[in-house]
């Protein structure tokens, strides 16, 4: 009976969080009396892939995303300073989240494999070990090719992320190697990269150290071009990609952030929930321990303006961590994908006129990879194609020297 009651509390808290009613959700988790509805009457929209700390939701072409009323807006309504979540509840919440966040779509194993080699491996570092998948295009004959590191979102894995983004197909055409590190459930019950933990936000520590060292080993093993190494991610993976840009700017020549969050704005689960829903939190605005995080790594940012999992305001907060005073100006372009989403692209140039930052705001899109394939989970095929645009942006940049 206790487990059934707890499950109902968590279900109701999830529904309220998705609706932006975070104070009510946290009250339930803290032991308040929930208005638990039966399975027959509960809105089951949250049971279609929604989860937390950077997870993704499947975008249905006929679905509509409700916007919170002004009084229910998540912006600033949920401050980590007034939340006391018991450790037992937090652990159960994380496990529950992972158990309910099953993708609606799975990769189609009947699809013919790409021409190149997609192999599995395991990397061991003094900090820890991770499995990975590596795509090597058929045109590779030992030459120094670029490397793109792709960080999946919560509940995903390398095969799913590769299928959804179709990065391997474009890498085959444009001759790039693609590395997909895998986050195991032993590190996070929902397979999220731990972007919100202090120990995973620093150079030579935690997950950033593992990913960076893994990339370097792949570069050395295959003789790849160390001047053209890039990293991109979705949601929790995007947040970790920004962390890598902040902590390893000497390794990555450009970064792609899709539906992500800034570096250093969370050091706990309550911080993470606050940041995801648009709240600044005690470390908000890109600040960590009084220090303004900033990176000179060129960045391309994608975010749907109807994202109910990671509030769209996070896109601007991410941009603020990359924006440099030396940027000379910006150009704004409005566009529309045929039978798909419209978008606004803002391109910031450096003093030499070279694009240094691109911000893509996808109108009407939720929390999913823009322009992705239905062969993978958490994608929005209505475009624009984030994979294509990211790879184009990446290949315009390389480390000097």
Find, among 171, 170, 130, the residue nearest to 152 by Cα.
130
Q: Phi and psi for 336 in degrees, rounded to 5? A: -150, 135
Q: Which two tokens stand for residue 74?
A: 């998540």
Enumerate helices (H) and strands (E) in the chain, giving the number of each. 10, 14
Task: Kindly state the DSSP code that residue 216 receives in the 8-state scheme.
Answer: H
User: Which DSSP string do the residues of 94-158 spell out, in sequence order?
Assistant: HHHHHHH---S----TTSPPPSSEEEEEEEE-SS-EEEEEEEE-TT-SS----EEEEE--TT--H
Contact 253, 397 (CB under 8 A): yes
Measured N-to-C along each axis, helices 386-394 and 167-174 cross at an angle, to the nearest 10 degrees, of: 40
Residues classed as catalytic: 235
Contacts of 275 (CB under 8 A, 6+ apart): 196, 261, 262, 265, 266, 281, 284, 314
Give the number of C-alpha atoms closer than 13 A to the C-alpha of residue 125, restricted to the C-beta side: 20
How many other C-beta atoms are found inside a 10 Å radius of the C-beta of residue 332? Answer: 9
Q: Phi and psi for 380 in degrees, rounded to 5? A: -125, 95
- CA distance linking residue 123 with residue 147, whole number of Å: 16
CA-based diameter of the chain, in Å? 67
């Amino acid at each position: 009976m206790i487990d059934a009651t707890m499950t109902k509390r968590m279900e109701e808290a999830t529904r309220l969080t998705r609706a932006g009613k975070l104070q009510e959700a946290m009250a339930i988790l803290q032991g308040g009396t929930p208005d638990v509805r039966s399975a027959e009457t509960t809105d089951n929209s949250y049971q279609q892939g929604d989860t937390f700390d950077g997870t993704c939701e499947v975008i249905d072409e006929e679905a509509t995303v409700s916007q919170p009323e002004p009084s229910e807006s998540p912006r600033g309504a949920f401050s980590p300073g007034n939340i006391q979540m018991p450790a037992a509840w937090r652990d159960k919440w994380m496990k529950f989240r992972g158990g309910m966040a099953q993708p609606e779509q799975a990769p189609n194993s009947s699809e013919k494999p790409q021409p190149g080699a997609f192999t599995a491996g395991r990397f061991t570092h003094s900090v820890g070990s991770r499995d990975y998948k590596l795509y090597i295009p058929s045109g590779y004959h030992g030459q120094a090719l670029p490397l793109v590191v792709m960080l999946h979102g919560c509940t995903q894995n390398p095969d799913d992320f590769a299928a959804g983004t179709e990065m391997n197909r474009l890498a085959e055409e444009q001759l790039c190697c693609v590395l997909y590190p895998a986050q195991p459930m032993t590190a996070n019950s929902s397979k999220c990269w731990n972007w919100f933990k202090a120990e995973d936000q620093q150079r030579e520590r935690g997950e950033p150290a593992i990913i960076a060292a893994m990339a370097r080993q792949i570069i050395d093993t295959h003789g790849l071009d160390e001047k053209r190494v890039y990293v991109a991610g979705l949601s929790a993976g995007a947040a970790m990609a920004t962390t890598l840009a902040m902590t390893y700017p000497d390794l990555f020549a450009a970064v792609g952030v899709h539906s992500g969050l800034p570096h250093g704005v969370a050091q706990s689960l309550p911080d993470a929930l606050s940041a995801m829903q648009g709240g600044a939190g005690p470390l908000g605005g890109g600040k960590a321990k009084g220090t303004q995080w900033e990176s000179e790594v060129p960045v391309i940012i994608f975010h749907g303006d109807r994202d109910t999992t990671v509030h769209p305001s996070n896109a601007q907060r991410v941009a603020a961590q990359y924006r440099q005073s030396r940027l000379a100006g910006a150009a704004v372009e409005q566009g529309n994908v045929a039978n798909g989403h419209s978008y606004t692209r803002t391109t910031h140039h450096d003093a030499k006129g070279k694009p240094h930052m691109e911000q893509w705001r996808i109108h009407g899109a939720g929390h999913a990879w823009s322009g992705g394939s239905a062969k993978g989970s958490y994608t929005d095929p209505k475009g624009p194609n984030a994979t294509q645009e990211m790879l184009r942006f990446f290949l315009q940049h390389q480390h000097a020297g």
